[in-house]
Structure 1
Amino acid sequence: MKKSLVLTAIAATLAAPAFAQSSVTIYGRLNVGAESQKIGDGDAKGAIVDNASRIGFKGTEDLGGGMKAMFLIEHGFDASTGKADTTFWGRESWVGLATKFGTVKLGNLGFSEAYLATADYISMHNHDTGTSSDALFGYVATTALKNAVSYSTPSFGGLVGHVQYGEAIGQDNPLSVAANYDAGALHLGFGYEELGDDKSTAVRGLYEMGAFTVGAYYNMVTGSGERNAWRLTGMYTMGNSEFHANYGMTDDVKGVANSGAAQWTLGYNYNLSKRTKLFAFYTNVINDPNAGYMSGAAGEDFSSAAVGIRHNF
């Protein structure tokens, strides 16, 4: 018995440094809604819709001297069917090193910092996912940053900058530049994406006023699909309830008459806990005769009414 206790104590002593050196967190989100969708004058159709469910692992190791190693791998899947995304760990998979001079990451970087700093930042009602996501923002290199490297600066009085560059063999290489500035209740963002001759530039602002939060962006696309878009969002919180509204527009694509669109969404979230929400929304995309945003058919509008559950872990 004594020998067993001694061996157990030695094993615990030897294992302790390995556990102290690093930490790994399992995290994820399941976000599923029941919807009634309609395209143009067609009949409404019911659907169970996944809204970017995912599971991931992230970890850090303190290397001392203000240096830290990091990694993240994240897998997307359809929680309504259990089906995996086309590429396992396709959402993100990178390893990085953080120092007092900034952070470097290598791998598949997921969504660009330019998108996260602008369109995603003010999409508060359902994290810019599913059928109520922003249909009008000018995405250029948002999800193209694979085989990529990124650098993020330290915070300079609330200002953080990001540069991301991807290597695409035989294709144009994506570039993303972004900045975020936080000063109390005021939050500002800038994003620039480039993929070949296509470029997307956006600025964003968000302001918190007690129970009210308001945000907006302006987006300019050049190259193919040249156009301008903007969006306004608002949220009011009362107890466990969140009331959301947003409205956005895009003008005609250059050289294509009657190709603009508008989108509006009303949403309600009820927080059962810090991790679990019930949600409901109605979204409507109104297309000009030569536009098919969200509907996929020129001149056909799209609408969806939904209720669902979102759980983070």
Structure 2
Amino acid sequence: MAALAVAGVASAQSSVTLFGVVDASISSYSSTSRDLNSGVTYNAFGFPVYNPFYVNQGSVKKSTRELANSGYNSSRLGFRGTEDLGGGLAASFWLEAPITNDDGATGVSTFARRSTVSLSGGFGEVRLGRDYTPTFWNDTVFDPFGTNGVGTNLISKAGGFNVATNGAAGTGGFGGNPNYVRASNTIGYFLPPNLGGFYGQLQYAFSEKTKYSPGLATPDVANNSRTGRYVGGRFGYANGPLDVALAYGSSTAGDQYYVGTTSKVNTLNLGASYDFGPVKLFGELSKVRNKVDYEVTPLAGGRTDVDLTGYLIGVTVPVGAGLIRAAYSRVKYDYNEVQLPFEPAAADPKANKLALGYVHNLSKRTALYATVARISNKNGAALTVGGPAFLSNGVFTPKTSTGYDFGIRHAF
């Protein structure tokens, strides 16, 4: 009877698919910091003070080589299925887990990549669960490297930026964006696919934080009142060789109830691609703002907003069974700080990146690939292609980060 029940459930599905990607690479990363001090400092009045005994300490490089995963496509294992409900309606599910095939430590213990159930029809699709955010789609779709491996563009590297370090995506709290790539507890709506090339989506994520009445009963713990909420949308047009999309999203990254502050990361980006046949061009413009809303603004004005602006230009060129990939990206941080009298002007942190790669398709499912990339940091920015972080101890300043991936990808 149990076997018949399982068979009955299985036959009700129009289709159930097991799918995945196994991607492994030999990857190398190095991060070089330099001592840019010359023995000159500035006093409180802005006048230079020279130390004739200062000895410059040169540079320090941290490097590592490893067998990595997801250099071309993210390694994953997933299950998806659809049931035809009749009348144009369909119910679907999608469960997708990240896997680390280089060490086998991560498998189907979590469906953190995507876990959704949806209902679709002539009205479009309503999707519930954990999913990509609308603002991340532009970062990955219009990147020739698909935000994977050392070639990942700087817009994506800094997209969940940490205000304190000018580094890669944070994981939460003030400065980081916990909903940069994906958001949990979401309700999403997607336009139907028959709109003459126009497409779009809206998404709302619940913070799922406990509210107390009266409010003074709220525990005095950071990030327990509003953190996790996300609202955003993406709308575009794809027809023939052209694809263009505009996205906006607001993510609540941190809060402190009794201090009366809420930190948000607001993202606006515009991406486009055009396939000429012999060559396909990519481009993206992005602006991210990390802001703090105050219940009562401090007398000193509080922390100023931090802006991150960036752009990407890229190209792919088919060559027989292969594909050449190249991209240049650039980002700049603006702390919007008020300049004090006699204070030396602080230059805004910025970075640029050049990535080159080649993919050789052995079949429709199997490919060999190679990618090299280099980041140049200026004025304290600390973005890396991966691997170890820069040595930054008040003496050394982050400068360059280089890396490569040589690997194989098999999809099923």
Say yes or no: TM over 0.5.
Answer: yes
Assess if the C-alpha contact under 8 Å between 1:136 and 1:293 holds in 2: no
- The 1:81–1:174 alpha-carbon spacing in structure 2 relative to 1, beyond 3 Å, is same
Distance in structure 2 (CA, Å) of the matches to 1:85 and 1:164 = 28
Distance in structure 2 (CA, Å) of the matches to 1:309 and 1:66 = 40
Distance in structure 2 (CA, Å) of the matches to 1:65 and 1:307 = 49
Q: How far apart are 1:85 and its partner, in Å?
A: 7.0
Q: How far apart are 1:16 and its partner, in Å?
A: 8.2
- Residue 159 (1) aligns with residue 249 (2): no
Say what the alpha-carbon RMSD is for the aligned residues.
2.2
- Quote the residue 1:48 is aligned against: 67
- Quote the residue 1:119 is aligned against: 139
- Quote the residue 1:279 is aligned against: 369
Q: How far apart are 1:35 and its partner, in Å?
A: 1.6
SS of residue paired to 1:136: helix
- Quote the residue 2:155 is aligned against: 136
Assess if the C-alpha contact under 8 Å between 1:283 and 1:303 holds in 2: yes
Assess if the C-alpha contact under 8 Å between 1:144 and 1:166 holds in 2: no
Letter in 2 for 1:223: N
SS of residue paired to 2:232: strand
SS of residue paired to 2:78: strand
- Quote the residue 1:303 is aligned against: 402
- Residue 189 (1) aligns with residue 245 (2): yes
Percent identity, please.
25
TM-score (norm. length: structure 1): 0.89
Assess if the C-alpha contact under 8 Å between 2:268 and 2:287 holds in 1: yes
TM-score (norm. length: structure 2): 0.68
Assess if the C-alpha contact under 8 Å between 1:144 and 1:174 holds in 2: no
For residues 226-251 of structure 1, give each alpha carbon's deviation from its aligned partner in whole angstroms, at most 9, with x where no partner exists: 12100001000011011111000012
Distance in structure 2 (CA, Å) of the matches to 1:67 and 1:312 = 30
Q: How far apart are 1:264 and its partner, in Å?
A: 0.9
Letter in 1 for 2:349: S
Q: How far apart are 1:145 and its partner, in Å?
A: 1.3
- Quote the residue 1:217 is aligned against: 284
Q: Which moved more, 1:220-229 or 1:294-303?
A: 294-303
Letter in 1 for 2:11: F
Q: How far apart are 1:219 and its partner, in Å?
A: 0.1
Q: Which moved more, 1:295-304 or 1:27-36?
A: 295-304
Unaligned runs of 5+ in 2: 33-59, 161-176, 210-224, 253-263, 292-305, 337-345, 391-396
Determine which of 237, 240, 254 is the counterpart of 2:318.
237
Distance in structure 2 (CA, Å) of the matches to 1:82 and 1:105 = 31
Q: Between the two structures, name the one with larger relative contact order (CA 8 Å, sep ≥ 6).
A: 2
- The 1:21–1:281 alpha-carbon spacing in structure 2 relative to 1, beyond 3 Å, is closer
Q: How far apart are 1:154 and its partner, in Å?
A: 1.1
- The 1:276–1:192 alpha-carbon spacing in structure 2 relative to 1, beyond 3 Å, is same
SS of residue paired to 1:310: strand
Distance in structure 1 (CA, Å) of the matches to 2:285 and 2:204 = 23
Aligned length: 298
Assess if the C-alpha contact under 8 Å between 1:34 and 1:46 holds in 2: yes
Larger Rg belongs to: 2
SS of residue paired to 1:89: coil
Q: How far apart are 1:177 and its partner, in Å?
A: 0.6
Q: How far apart are 1:252 and its partner, in Å?
A: 2.8
- Quote the residue 2:383 is aligned against: 293
Assess if the C-alpha contact under 8 Å between 2:116 and 2:129 holds in 1: yes
Mapping of residues 29-108 of structure 1, within 5 Å:
29-40=21-32, 41-42=60-61, 44-51=63-70, 52-84=74-106, 88-108=110-130
Assess if the C-alpha contact under 8 Å between 2:153 and 2:327 holds in 1: no
Assess if the C-alpha contact under 8 Å between 1:142 and 1:193 holds in 2: no
- Quote the residue 2:331 is aligned against: 250
Q: Which moved more, 1:218-227 or 1:138-147?
A: 138-147
Distance in structure 2 (CA, Å) of the matches to 1:22 and 1:208 = 35
Distance in structure 2 (CA, Å) of the matches to 1:165 and 1:87 = 26
Assess if the C-alpha contact under 8 Å between 2:139 and 2:155 holds in 1: no
Q: How far apart are 1:26 and its partner, in Å?
A: 0.5
For residues 120-144 of structure 1, give each alpha carbon's deviation from its aligned partner in whole angstroms, at most 9, with x where no partner exists: 012233x212332223333443235
For residues 146-200 of structure 1, give each alpha carbon's deviation from its aligned partner in whole angstroms, at most 9, with x where no partner exists: 0111000113211111011111223331112111311111111111121133201
Q: How far apart are 1:77 and its partner, in Å?
A: 1.7
- The 1:230–1:75 alpha-carbon spacing in structure 2 relative to 1, beyond 3 Å, is same
